[in-house]
Structure 1
Amino acid sequence: MSSTSQNGYERLLATPPSCEGGLVAAVDLDTDAPAQWSSGLCNCLSDTPLCCLTCWCPCITFGRIAETVDDGKTSCIASAGIHALLTYITGCGWIYSMAYRSKIRKQYMLGSSPFQDCLAHFCCERCALCQEYRELQIRGSTLSAAGDAREKNDGVDIVPVPTKQMTR
């Protein structure tokens, strides 16, 4: 085959797409299609400190998730306490955390079903909590390490400025 001849695929790739009347055809996007989770359920080890914290004390991760999803209306400590009591006394803390997974799905229009939420929290609650927290982090909705709410518009932490200066 000579270097000057092109097969059908090479000609197709070499020529730019043509547009009728000089207008580019609009791509039909389905805006009602559900979004996907940013990370998988089993990607726990992608954030090792979060994985370790959630493994040994899932109530803290859940408290952070609940406070973030409820926009600070629910206390992290109260949610963590309720989750701990439900988990360590009755073994049904996964039901409480499953409700927040559904809230996250609705808030960010994530694809899944309530049945899958139930399975995720019943079979592997710690992985589900890690996935939810990572989703909130990626979407910029998590609380900062100090517990201050992060500014929703530009992701900048609000730091209080001291009003009095120190004197000697």
Structure 2
Amino acid sequence: MNVDSGHRPQQWSHGFCKCGGSLGTCCLTCCLPCITFGRIAEIVDEGRSSCLSHGLLYGLLLTINFQWVYSCMYRKRLREKFGLPEEPCGDCCVHFFCEPCALCQEHAELKSRGFDPSKGWTGAPTAAPQVPPSMTK
């Protein structure tokens, strides 16, 4: 779902520095960000690639401190999919300067839209996604 230029972008369901509203997600992301990222990427890719493959590539890039480029690409795709604004700054800046906050916010966004990131794409909501009132004609 992409937003037409005539529509105002939706807002993120959780603030950037709010740990996604979940202490568990925050702890997991700080200790094992490859798992959180893999879950996000699998859903954004609509199951075309697995959490494991994304997590392994993220972990490999983490060893050379280049994982933020990979995760930045998925933040952009998630934003475009749900019509979210690029905030608090550009996608790459967000991931470069505070990767855990960015991943927690993205994880929380998927949960607020009915996905269960721990189940991957198989945890996708079966009902049609809810359109906020600001998006109706």
Shift in alpha-carbon separation, 1:36–1:59, aligned structure 2, 3 A: same
Q: Deviations over 1:119-148 (max 9, x none)?
A: 1100000110000000000011334x4557
CA 1:122–1:146 in structure 2 vs 1: closer, same or farther (change >3 Å)? Answer: closer
How far apart, in 2, do the equivalents of 1:83 and 1:59 lie? 6
Give 1:95's aligned residue.
Answer: 69
Q: What do the CA deviations read for 1:51-91 (whole angstroms, capped 9, x no partner)? A: 00000010000000010111111110010000000012x10
Give the TM-score normalised by the residue count of structure 2. 0.82
Moved over 4 A (4+): none
Count of paired positions? 123
Q: How does 1:1-168 map to 2 (within 5 A)?
A: 32-44=7-19, 46-88=21-63, 90-112=64-86, 116-143=90-117, 145-147=118-120, 149-154=122-127
Cα distance change of structure 1 residues 101 and 146 upon mapping to structure 2, 3 Å threshold: closer
**Secondary structure of the equivalent of 1:149?**
helix
The one-letter code matched in structure 2 to 1:124 is C
Q: Which runs of 5 or more structure 2 residues have no equivalent in the other structure?
A: 129-137
Specify the structure having the higher radius of gyration (Cα). 1
Unaligned stretches of 5+ residues in structure 1:
1-29, 156-168
What RMSD over aligned residues (CA atoms) do the two structures have, in Å? 2.1
Structure with the largest fraction of helix: 2
For residues 25 and 11 of structure 2, what CA distance do their matches in structure 1 show? Answer: 21
Percent of counterpart pairs with the same letter? Answer: 43
Classify the secondary structure of the residue corresponding to 1:83.
helix
Ranked by relative contact order (alpha carbons within 8 Å, sequence separation 6 or more), the top structure is 2
Q: TM-score when scaled to structure 1?
A: 0.67
TM-fit CA distance, 1:117? 0.8
Aligned counterparts of 2:20 and 2:55: Cα–Cα separation in 1: 22
